[in-house]
Structure 1
Amino acid sequence: MATLLDFCSLVRSKNAGPFTLTFDFMCHDQAAYDALVATGFLNKGLFARLYGADPEDILLVNHPRALAVKVSLPRPEVQGDPHDSDCYAGQQYAPLMDLCVEPLTEGHTA
């Protein structure tokens, strides 16, 4: 079973302002980047399911020259809200770490 750490040397989440959560996936090398992108694993549907966001509000950008993928979406709670359990959003990547990175199958929608 492959996980994100098989492809990435750095996986992180952080605030991009008080209303936006952003994720960075920085790959080991060109081969790892190409393989990760080819799986289609990092897709709007995944982030919509895990973080309760509308797929229309999710920005997913591949950065081939940086060997990175960036995903940004509205924070589930505004930074500093009494219900905000992660003020700096530094732990939001955790639900992604144990997921099996597999290619999307025919008929599966992202």
Structure 2
Amino acid sequence: MSPTIADLALEVRSKNAGPFWVTMELFMRDAAGYRIVADEAFVDERVVASLYGIDADTVRIFRIPALNVVKISFPRPVPQGSLRDRDIHAGQHHVPLALLPVPTSE
């Protein structure tokens, strides 16, 4: 079984970034893990778009090497607190990304 992003991270979390956006944060354990998830060949706008069923043009990725952190933001599927909002705090949006298998060098 391949390791996942969650296996390399101290924490993977998601939260509201206002009523119309979600932000996910990948706090990596070390620089080696950061290099893996920060690699645009692994996690890019298209990958995030496919995981969340959104338009890749709306995804914003911020790589912060000094902190070993990658932040990803995209519009919420529905506004926070609206009738169809199933996760008002956006606290569960991180799960598909956290479970993404890390490529191996085999």
TM-score class, shorter: 0.7 to 0.9
2:53 alignment partner in structure 1: 52
**Does structure 2 conserve the Cα–Cα contact (< 8 Å) formed by 1:39 and 1:102?**
no
Letter in 1 for 2:84: H
Instruction: Tell whether the 8 Å contact from 1:8 to 1:25 is kept in structure 2 after alignment.
Output: yes
Mark the runs of 5 or more structure 2 residues left unpaired by the alignment.
none
- Give 1:36 deviation, angstroms: 2.6
Q: Are residue 29 (structure 1) and residue 27 (structure 2) matched?
A: no
Q: Which segments of structure 1 move beyond 6 Å, counting only runs of 4 or more? A: none
TM norm structure 2? 0.87
Q: Following superposition of structure 1 onto structure 2, how do residues 21-100 of structure 1 map, counting pairs within 5 Å?
A: 21-38=22-39, 40-100=41-101
**Gaps in structure 1 of 5+ consecutive residues:** 104-110
Residue 12 of structure 1 aligns to a residue in which SS? strand
Shift of 1:39: 6.9
Q: TM-score, normalised by structure 1?
A: 0.85
Q: Percent identity?
A: 38
Q: Which letter does structure 1 place at the counterpart of 2:4?
A: T
Return the alpha-carbon distance in structure 2 between the equivalents of residues 27 and 40 of structure 1.
17
Q: What SS does the aligned partner of 2:43 have? A: coil
Tell me, yes or no, if the aligned pair for 2:48 and 2:97 is still in contact at 8 Å. Answer: no
Q: Quote the residue 1:16 is aligned against.
A: 17
For the Cα contact (< 8 Å) 1:10–1:26, is it kept in 2?
Answer: yes
Separation in 2, partners of 1:79, 1:48: 20
Q: Aligned Cα RMSD in Å? A: 1.6
